[in-house]
Amino acid sequence: MGSREMLSSVFHFPAGITIDSMDPSANELVMRIACDFSSMPCPECHQPSARIHSCYQRLVADLPCAGRNVILALTLRKFVCGTPTCPRKIFTERLPGLVESYARMTSRLIALMQAIGLVAGGQKGTRLVDRSGIATTPSTLLRHVMPLPAPPTRAVRVLGVDDFAWKKRFTYGTILVDLERRTIIDVLADRESATVEAWLHEHPAVELVIRDRGKDFSKAATLGAPQARASWWIVSIWSKISQRCSRRSLGTVVRKFVREKLLCLSWRRPQKSAPVRGPR
């Protein structure tokens, strides 16, 4: 095994990718690589072609190495398709095991950023990858997470429905929460009763709907899930509690409200016994 093949195996490059040179610096490592296959199949007619039209350079970010950014300077070739009936006369060689077309990051770097973005989110994920030597932004991290397919949702028994503002006073949406698992399962584009009703028709396993006292959600719960029980008392309780919290602590208000309205519990403090005084 030659030195080029050994370096390619150390950095786990796919077969046929060789390293021509390496240019390390304090914060960056630039590797110039190329593909040594003599021919490439056309992406349209899938016929191999060995006739080279031209070459060009392409810069792609890769996984960091010892805290330094790794930049791959790819030397890609353009081939001439020899099939007369093929609509594509000139095509560029593909490197599917390393980088996709038009991508500015390798596939393995994108997979790492997707995993970090799912766990830590945008801001925290950016701080985490920055310590690893990956230069990125929160928007870039989230942009790589968005194409991932949504995980399959399990049957929902206890559903929480509430509205939120996409743009305050103008556009509102609906958020749906699985209250048993404490996870958000869907976000609807508006808060119309027909939209929520259609969603409930697609999920017949709902047994209890927790909502506010709005007419739209009440109508949607009645028509979309007639088998489910609708309840708004939790939101009503907390709205009353919040109204009483203007000047008193939350703990005091909750204890008083539970004592008066819900559980009829006594939160009386034990009375201190009067001190025994001796004879004068």
pLDDT in tens, 110-143: 999 999 998 888 889 998 888 887 888 899 999 9
Q: What is the mean pLDDT of residues 58-87?
A: 90
Q: What mean pLDDT comes out for the span 161-186? A: 88
Predicted pLDDT of residue 270: 44
Q: Is the pLDDT of residue 274 over 70?
A: no
Give the strand order in the sheet containing 208-210: 183-188, 171-178, 158-167, 208-210, 229-231
In this prediction, residue 267 carries a pLDDT of 37
Nearest 5°: phi and psi at 255?
Answer: -60, -40
Mean pLDDT confidence for 226-237 = 64
Give the CB-side neighbour count of residue 211, counting CA atoms within 13 A.
Answer: 23
pTM: 0.62
Contact 58, 106 (CB under 8 A): no
* Per-residue confidence (pLDDT) for residue 73, from 0 to 100: 93
Which regions of 28-169 does DSSP assign to beta strands (E)?
Answer: 28-35, 40-41, 48-49, 52-65, 68-80, 90-92, 158-167
Mean pLDDT value across residues 50-54: 91
